[in-house]
Amino acid sequence: MKVVVQRVTRASVSIGGALHSQVGSGLLLLVGIGRRDTGESLAWMSRKIPNLRIFEDEAGKMNLSVKDAGGSILAVSQFTLYGDASRGNRPGFSGAAPPEEARGMFDRFVEELRRESGCVVETGSFGADMQVELLNDGPVTIILESPEPQ
């Protein structure tokens, strides 16, 4: 599982020109589900993200999590994180989970993230052509990959 974590002042998803979801201060997650991902991958990621200390405390140090900062989360499914362009200029996506499998895993990840974080968690629309808008705060961007299944 791969997730691009961006600390944001605000983020939103529009579909067909209409606002679908939005959050204020918090995290934007671009979420890729891989063929080899398991429930263990989802659990690891849903525990890791809410506890990342990437928000500033009163001393200006990155010492607070999204939970501590009272932020919210916008999670957007993005299979293109598994794009492989090592053999040419057109990426292949064979590392991404098939859509029907990825949809269920993404939904499960969001539920686990809500439970683990206690934060408001909004989502995009799985498989839709979405326009994602964000104001990156910092900018702070972290790329996480779950450990390989044993």
Let me know if 80 is a catalytic residue: yes
Candidates 6, 9, 22, 80; catalytic one:
80
Candidates 55, 79, 106, 109; catalytic one:
79
Q: What is the 3-state secondary structure (H, E, C) of the chain?
A: CEEEEEEEEEEEEEECCEEEEEECCEEEEEEECECCCCHHHHHHHHHHHHHCCCEECCCCCEEECHHHHCCEEEEEECHHHHCECCCCCCCECCCECCHHHHHHHHHHHHHHHHHHHCCCEEECCCCCCEEEEEEEEEEEEEEEECCCCC
Let me know if 78 is a catalytic residue: yes
Let me know if 79 is a catalytic residue: yes
Candidates 6, 55, 78, 123; catalytic one:
78
Catalytic residues: 78-80
